Structures are given as structure tokens and as C-alpha cells.
Amino acid sequence: MAATTASAQTRDFMVRGFGDVGSTTFTAAEQSFAAVLGSATGMVFGGGVEVVLPVRVFANVRASRFQETGQRVFLFEGEQFDLGIPTTITVTPVQLTGGYRFGASDRFVPYGGAGVGWYGFKEASQFSTDAENVDNRFTGFHILGGAEIGLRRWLALAGELQWSTVPDAFGDNPNSVSHEFNESNLGGTTFRFKIVVGM
Amino acid sequence: MKMSGRCAATVLACAVGIGIEAAAVSGVLAQDASFLPRFPILLSELTAPAIDRGIHEFDPVRAPRTEGTTLQIAADGEPFLRGSIIVKFRPGTSPDAQRAMLSQVNGALTPPLSYANFDIVSIPDTADPEATARRLEAQPDVDYAQARYRIYPQFVPNDPMYARQWNYPALDMERAWDINPGATASVTVAVLDSGVAYRPALMRYNARFPFRATPGGPVLPALGLIDVPFAAAPDLGGADRFVAPRDFIWETTTPMDLDGHGTHVAGTIGQLTNNSIGVAGMAFNVRLMPVKVIAGDWDFILGSPLQGTDDVVARGVRYAVDNGAQVLNMSIGRTGPPAPVVQEAITYAVSRGAFVVVAAGNEFEIGNPVERLAEFAPLIQGMVAVAAIGRDRRRAFYSNTGPYIELAAPGGNMRAGGSEGGILQQTYDFDFVDTFLGSAAQYRAPRFDVFAYQYFQGTSMAAPHVSGFAALLIQQGITKPAAIEAAMTRYATDLGAAGRDNEFGHGLINPRASLRGLGLAK
């Protein structure tokens, strides 16, 4: 059997690139995202670069993007009134992750890690001025775990689950849904599939 | 003041007779309406086109028109009608029990009225309506009883286009209209007022009584049969803008404005905008429902069967909401004792999904009495009482203060800002309406087909800004009355003392912010 990236990584220094697609749920601000976007869950696309050291330690940097368009709302006594004014939420995390790859199998490599991220958050509504729109970046932390399956020496497929916390990202503006729901954390859970290329 | 015995036989005739006798024209007795042709008579639905005489800003200052100075009050000096009161019996009270209670006050039920969950009880002309109402209210089977207080337009007119309408930029309306360009015809705003110049007509009236327009002034003769031309206000739009018109003063379906107040108010709510003509309105695509519940001077002169009293207003409120109005504008009001019949009607209207806007009153400088149609606004989520500000964003000199004030809007203040400090809208050219204010020789039939742009000031002018704003919010998606009120108060621009206060309530309405609502983070 030909050596795969998975098996090779346990022996060699590797530099790899990856792309991913997944579903993210803003569990820490679920009501707020659901109110404005209709759901707190959406697609997220990303990619990055990863370095694997011979001692099974890896480090990667990943950038991703979540973008959905919903509408501005008014909330009153538990009831939501949709206002029909389009508003687009864009979340762009840049994450630095370090972790360990367990060597149970050459073809199947579970891994886990943690890291720090810088989360871009933009909210732009129709009819709003620049000052009324939001464009901020916040620092957060995350942990993740997954498993990688080697398909070729240079190609692997992985499934990964991540939990993140991004405290104090919003909720301070009294004229915001997040303030209404007392939600301030941009974090949540993300499940994604990764395609890893490199050796 | 006294009433003729004959007049006591019919409530409608009494309403006419009271005023005429007290106008110090001796020898004139009230006439039994049943012996007379029913007026007005619609002679033609086609008339010559309306005449637009442009802006009137340099006309002589007219006497302020606040409560107590209309012809009706000049006539009998009392703020309520004699000869009848309003009574609401508790559900299940038998007719026998009702009669027994009424017999104690020499009262009798009159025929049931449309759009009324109360009764009008006739009482002797000599009886004090307030005392009689108190006696009945003490009965266990009576919900409430009250005198039939007259209700008045809430403005201080001053006779005299968009650049002259400071009121809209003051509310940032240009940007608000970017979000919601004037609502749509799916929203109906009822204008409970003196009627609206909404259609052409040639009407025949019978001006049967001489009267004195001002105390000590000349006695003006009875004009007899007169043909009065009406036209739709050119800047209010065509007939398709108006739905379910109703007149509770003349008991007809043609609420012709014989005053001009209702037409001015309707203009601020829904004047056609961006049409290269005249001035703008807040919600310029809505449908308007003219509901006439107050009488103007000409209604009085021409012998309208009813006046604008609490019961008439209550019926108008119920009519409006039962016929699909989502917003009720009430640029009317009165002081005196509480008005439970109106409070109950407004509570009913809000429970049926209508948002109610009431002017807060213009009597600040004459003792700042409680404005009775506005006072219960804090108790009803979905009703707001509106104070007035001038161009300087300060409380207008006339605007009432009190715990019932919830919002403020531009009402104009010509004392601080000159004639252009008022609210400009199209209404009648009063040179053709107020013919009774001159000499007897100048007194002639009015014309309601000649229009001009006039500056008015008053909480009457403030309220329609809020009604138009409510229509925009409904169109935008905030449909429940309580939520509309919350959206208005939440985003109001705080004026005066920090937080809610008795001058501005929660502050100056901020339509753009309310229409934008909430984003996720901002």
C-alpha cells in the first residue's frame, strides 16, 4: 500500500494546504442570529495552511467566511416583527490552531487542538450609513477535534468539530437584537469537512 | 338658558335649539326637525373644479380657536349639551330595571344608535346633566353615566410648500421615506375630525336661524336655502384615496368638511407627495377614512342635528375600527370631567387592532387642565397622546403638559417662529368660509371649493404626524397597536428633562430609527 499523507505525517515534516466547507451554528447568540437571519445556522467556507511536525504536533492557520442576509426586526413582548430591510451578516474568523495528531492508524488519524482566533464581524443594512453599520474584529478562543482519512499520499479528507467562544462581540448597543436577548458571544459550534492537500 | 318644551320632545331638535336661543336672538324657537325637509340635500355630484389660491401667509391674524370659543360655546356658554346624557348599563340589566333607574331622574331611553354600546337618555332641559349622571352612576347596574361634553379641534389657527415645511426635515423624514415611501393603499387612516374636503358636491342647506357670531357682535340673518359648492382638496388626491366616509354630525355618508380643520389634518397624514404640487404628507399613499365627529361653525349655523359630543366621538371611533381603519387620528379634545364613553370606545378600537393617536391639548396657558380624551393614553397600550413642539424643538406655548403626554411631534409655534413657524397644509381659503366674522353685509353662503395653503398650529397638527408615522410602521411590518407604541417611544428623541417627562413624554418621534428597527448588533 502506498504511503498516504496520513501515515506520512506521523513520520515526516509536512506542509499542507486545506480547504473546508461546513455548517456553523452561533450557539452563544442563537436567538439573535435566528431573529435576524431566520436561523442561527449557516454555511461556512474556509481554507488554510498547516504544518505537521514529526512529533505529531501540528499547527495551522485558517481563514473562513460566513455570510447570510436576513432582515432587520422589531421585538416586543416576545413577538418579532420583520421589517423587510435587508441586513447582511458577515463573520470572517482567522484562527491559529495547535494540536496533536494521534497515531492509531496510518490511514485514520484522529486529532485535537485549540487556539486563538480573530473574528471579523460585519453587519450592513440597507438604508444605513457607514456609522450605522458594524465592522469590528474580536478575539476568541476555540477547541476542535476531528479525524483525517488518507486517500492518497498527498490527499486526505477530514471531518472536524469546533467549539469557539468570542466574548463581548455585541450586545452593548441597546438598539440591537443581541441586547434584547442579552447575548454577546459570537462563538458557536462548527462542523466541517476538510480536503487536505500536500506532503 | 332654557329650552322650549317642544324641543324636549326630540333630542336632535334640542341640539339645534339650545344654541340658537342662547345666541341672544329672542323669539326664535327650536323647530321640530320632523316637519322640515332633511338637509343637506345633494344637488349635484359635479361642480366646477376646485380653485387653488396658493399660500396664505400674510393674512391678518385670526382669533385663536381653542375650546370654548366656537360658535356653539358662544351660544350657550356650557361645555356640554342639556336635555340628554350618556348612560352605559351593565350587561344583563333588564329593561324594567333600566326604566326604574331612569325614572328616578325623569329620564327616558332614546332610540338605539348605530356604533354605540351605550344609550342616550333624555332628561329634562332644566336638569343638570352632570348631577343627573352622578346620580345614575351611583346605581349598581350602571357602568358609567356622563354628560354629553362637546369636543373640539385641537389647534390654534392663524390665517396667513416643501421648503416651507420645516416639520418634515425636523423628523428626518426624507431618510425615513427612503425606507418607507409613504406606506401603501393597504393601510387606512381614519380622520375623526370636522370632515374632509374629499369630493365635489353641490349641497343645499337651510340656514334657518339668525345668530350672533361673537358676543356683542351683529345679529346675522338666517340665509334660508343656500346652495353650497364643495370640491375635493386638489392635493389630497382622487376619490380612490378615500374609504367608508361617514358623518356622525349630520348622520349621512358624506362627511363634508364645513370647517377646514379636518382637511388640514388629513393633509399632514396623507397629502400627495412628490407630485410637483403643493406640500407633502407623512404617509402619502395611505387611504383616508373621513369620519366627521366634530362640528364646525358652519355646521352649527346650518343646523346640524348633532354636535361633536363624547357620544358622537365614541360612535365615530367604533365606526372607524369596524370599517377597517388601522390608525385613528383624533386631533380633537376637551377638558372637563372624564369621558368614560370615549375611553371605552378607544379601548375597543385598540382591542380590534387599531392604533389611536390623540392630540394632547392646547390649553397650557389657560390653566393646563387635563385633556380628557388624551388622559387615558398611558392606560392603553396602543394609544398615544401627542404634545406639540415648534421649529425650535421646544414645547409649543399652548401644548398641555401632564403625566398623560407620551410623545411629541411638530405642531408649530408661530409665537416663536412667526407665521412660518406653523404647520403648512392645504385647506380652505377662509376668505370664502368665515363670512360670518365680518359685518352683516358681508355675511353670505360659504364656498368650500376654494383652497389655499395655510399655516396652522396646535396639538391637532402634531397628532397627524404620529398617525402618518403609525401608518408607515404598519406598512413596514409592525402591525400590533401596542408594538407600534413601543416602536415609537423606544426610538423617540429625548427632549427636555432626561427620560420621560410631562412636556414631551418620551420625546420627539424619530420615524427613521423606528422604521429601521433592530439589527443584530446595531
Indicate the residue of A35, A123, A180 with minimum beta-carbon distance to B522. Answer: A123
CA separation for the pair B489, B500 (Å, rounded): 9
What pLDDT shows up at residue B11?
24
Q: From A85, which residue of chain B is nearest by alpha-carbon distance?
A: B516
What pLDDT shows up at residue B47?
72
B37 pLDDT band (50/70/90 cuts)?
Answer: low
What pLDDT shows up at residue A11?
57
Q: From B521, which residue of chain A is nearest by alpha-carbon distance?
A: A176
CB contact under 8 A, A74 and B479: no
CB contact under 8 A, B519 and A176: yes
B123 pLDDT band (50/70/90 cuts)?
Answer: very high
pLDDT in tens, B460-490: 999 999 999 999 999 999 999 999 999 999 9
E strands in B45-89: 51-56, 80-89
pLDDT in tens, A54-91: 889 999 999 999 999 999 999 999 999 999 999 999 99
Indicate the residue of B487, B515, B522 with minimum beta-carbon distance to A173. Answer: B522
Indicate the residue of B179, B478, B520 with minimum beta-carbon distance to A32. Answer: B520
Amino acid letter for position B251: E
Candidates A75, A79, A81: best to mutate against B (most CBs of B within 10 A) is A81
Q: From A38, which residue of chain B is nearest by alpha-carbon distance?
A: B520
pLDDT in tens, B334-345: 999 999 999 999
Task: Report the SS3 class of residue B486.
Answer: helix
Average pLDDT over residues B346-368: 97
What pLDDT shows up at residue A105?
74
B150 pLDDT band (50/70/90 cuts)?
Answer: confident
- Residues in A lying within 8 Å of B, measured between beta carbons: 29, 32-33, 35-37, 72-77, 79, 81-85, 87, 89, 121, 123, 125, 127-128, 132-134, 169-171, 173, 175-178, 180
Considering only A110-114, B48-52, B271-275, B405-409, which range has the smallest mean pLDDT?
Answer: B48-52
CB contact under 8 A, B516 and A72: yes
CA separation for the pair B50, B236 (Å, rounded): 12
H-only helix segments in B366-480:
414-417, 459-476
pLDDT in tens, B362-403: 999 999 999 999 999 999 999 999 999 999 999 999 999 999
Query: What is the DSSP-derived secondary structure letter of residue B239?
Result: G
Average pLDDT over residues B284-304: 95
B521 touches chain A (CB under 8 A): yes
Strand partners, A94: A63, A118
With beta carbons under 8 A apart, name residues in chain B contacting A180.
Answer: 518
The residue that leads in pLDDT, A159 or B30, is A159
What pLDDT shows up at residue B276?
80
In angstroms, the separation between the Cα of residue A45 and the nearest Cα of chain B is 22
Q: From B474, which residue of chain A is nearest by alpha-carbon distance?
A: A83
Q: Evaluate if residue B8 carries a pLDDT over 80.
A: no
What pLDDT shows up at residue A87?
97
pLDDT in tens, B221-257: 999 999 999 999 998 988 889 999 999 999 999 999 9
- From the list B54, B72, B240, B265, the residue with the least C-alpha distance to B151 is B72
CA separation for the pair B423, A64 (Å, rounded): 55
Indicate the residue of B490, B513, B519 with minimum beta-carbon distance to A87. Answer: B519
Question: Mean pLDDT for chain B?
Answer: 86
pLDDT in tens, A148-184: 999 998 999 999 999 999 999 999 999 899 999 999 9
- From the list B432, B384, B428, B426, the residue with the least C-alpha distance to B408 is B384
B477 touches chain A (CB under 8 A): yes
Average pLDDT over residues B30-59: 64
What is the grid cell recorded at A107? Answer: 490511514
What is the grid cell recorded at A197? Answer: 492537500
With beta carbons under 8 A apart, name residues in chain B contacting A185.
Answer: none
